[in-house]
Structure 1
Amino acid sequence: MANSAPSPGQDRHAKPIRSILVTQPKPATDVSPYSSLADKYGIQVDFREFIEVQGVPYKEFRKEKVNILEHTAVIFTSRNAVDHFFRTCQEAKLEMPAEMKYFCISEQTANYLQKYIVLRKRKLFVGQRTAADLFDVIKKHKSEKFLYPCSDIRKDDLPEFMRANNLKFTEAVIYRTVASDLSDLAEVKYDCLAFFSPSGISSLFINFPDFTQDATRIAAFGPTTAKAVRDADLILDIEAPMPNAPSMAGAIEAYIRQHNGQPSVATDKNKSAN
């Protein structure tokens, strides 16, 4: 990926942001915080997944010698985990017993379960939003034998919590996170790259080992992503969430307001109308 270079002697922040690459899938609808950002400031916003999820084939999963039905509860921390857990069950020709309990990190993940099971007939426990919220729920069910389906790349907080509280659990890797092929972006320049996971940073350097940042602004969502940016010796220009900007789009807009030195498109229209 080509870097966005400042003019000789120019402060890297002085170069206005005119283009942004969001390293996530394009939103399902045309109306999103990013489309609003593009319209308001007249900038280009593109989307491209830097990582891909690949399911672990059942034949390979069997080598882990994990007996799914020996467990009394399943912990889901993402929709990918839900998809690949039930894919694995289907390939194994397993049907989840009615008494199986499901612990979900958020309401969004819990609702996604409806794709595979009838929720009103199941025992469902939901955290508010974060892993810490889910921990509080899990602690009330210490007699359960938990199954934690996850990726080969995952945070350590849940396994560490389970071990620290002497909870019975089995970790089962059912999908992998791999770098996407980004070779078509080799000569493409963006003023800002927005990352949402450490895997995205890894993918950047897997695809472009000679990448240099120069005036390219780097945005990161979440503390682990921010750490990955710094560990890669990159300058972190935009960090989210922040008290005044809980979303990535909001954090980028705050930066643009401070550094672009241009009125928004909406402001120009308002001036013309007066």
Structure 2
Amino acid sequence: MQPDKKVLCTRVLDAQFVSKAAVHHIQIDALPFIEIQKLHTQQFKDQVQQLALQNISVAFTSVNSVESVGQIVNGKPNWKICCIGGVTKDAVVKYFGEEAILVTGKNASVLSRKIIETKNIKEVIFFCGDQRLDDLPETLRTNNIRVQEVIAYHTLQTPHDVQEDYDAVMFFSPTAAHSFFSSNTVRTDVPLFSIGKTTTATIHSYCTNEVITSEWPGQENLVERVVEYFSE
């Protein structure tokens, strides 16, 4: 039996979410358009280990940065951790424990507001990627909170020439959108699915297609949006 809909996802998905979509006769083909390279330099390791000795506030908005840092730190540092929810929070709990989390938010904008609302944070160490978004650091700096950015991973574009005619395309980051549209176009009637308003804005810079946006991070939320859309 052929699926009713075929969807391209521009990153690898967990098998459980591919199976969930298949139950609803939606076939998701995953083809990664970016590559994550975590830092392994001695300089980065020394910097993280030095920060691990300090009583500081740190921020994570990506599971990649949590994993990159967590694999270096031995034990649980005396950090007050601010992070977005979903898999990023899950990774923070895995490496640093639930008790280390000070505040969480569904995205970087909400997280920055919650950090400001704590009133007693004057400086934040922001572990991020080299393609990080501006939302958190700019909002905090505007509110007189110092931000020290520590690059924990690099994001590389890996474009592919897509020959298949898909019924929808899923995007999880602005970089993936740039990578996809550098080699491909889509029919104007194809809906596009996006995590976050910045990714959506990037997509709209390339086309006028309908974009269905999930403000919550994570694979499950975006797959649910796809299923809901095609089940209506």
CA distance in 2, matches of 1:30, 1:252: 11
Following superposition, the deviation at residue 164 of structure 1 comes to 1.0
> TM-score normalised to the size of structure 1?
0.66
Secondary structure at 1:138 match in 2? helix
Give the match's secondary structure for 2:170.
strand
Asked if 1:235 corresponds to 2:208, the answer is: yes
8 Å Cα contact 1:84-1:175 kept in structure 2: yes
Among all aligned residue pairs of Structure 1 and Structure 2, give the percentage whose two residues are the same amino acid.
26
CA distance in 2 between partners of 1:78 and 1:36 (Å): 29
1:123-151 superposed Cα distances (whole Å, 9 cap, x missing partner): 42132423344234322253453210101
Match of 1:56 among 39, 54, 75: 39
Alpha-carbon distance between aligned partners in 2 of 1:103 and 1:214, rounded to the nearest angstrom: 40
- Describe how 1:143-162 pairs up with structure 2 within 5 A: 143-162=121-140
2:6 counterpart of 1:22? no
How far is the alpha carbon of 1:212 from its aligned partner? Answer: 3.3
2:193, 2:154 → 1: CA distance? 22
More strand per residue: 2
Cα distance in 2 between the residues matched to 1:34 and 1:81: 28
Cross-structure match for 2:95: 116
CA RMSD of aligned residues (A): 3.4
Q: Which runs of 5+ in 1 are unaligned?
A: 1-16, 259-274
The one-letter code sitting in structure 2 at the alignment partner of 1:169 is: V
2 CA distance for matches of 1:77 and 1:65? 17
In 2, distance between residues paired with 1:218 and 1:107? 24
Query: What do the CA deviations read for 1:97-139 (whole angstroms, capped 9, x no partner)?
Result: 643222222265333224323444xx42132423344234322
Deviation at 1:219, TM superposition (A): 0.6
Deviates more, 1:167-176 or 1:249-258: 249-258
CA distance in 1, matches of 2:205, 2:178: 11
1:265 match: none
Q: How many residues align?
A: 222
> Which of 29, 50, 65 is residue 46 of structure 1 equivalent to?
29
1:1-274 correspondence to structure 2 within 5 Å: 18-29=5-16, 33-38=20-25, 43-59=26-42, 61=44, 68=51, 69=53, 72-87=56-71, 90=72, 95=74, 98-106=77-85, 108-120=87-99, 123-139=100-116, 140-180=118-158, 182=160, 186-206=162-182, 208=183, 211-214=184-187, 217-221=190-194, 222-232=196-206, 234-241=207-214, 247-249=221-223, 251-253=225-227, 256=230
Distance 1:212 1:133, change over 3 A: closer
Q: What is the SS of the residue equivalent to 1:29?
A: helix
The structure showing larger relative contact order (alpha-carbon pairs under 8 Å, at least 6 residues apart) is: 1
From the superposition, tell whether residues 49 and 130 of structure 1 become closer, same or farther in structure 2 (CA, over 3 Å): same
Task: Report the CA distance shift for 1:98/1:201 in structure 2 as closer, same or farther (over 3 A).
Answer: closer
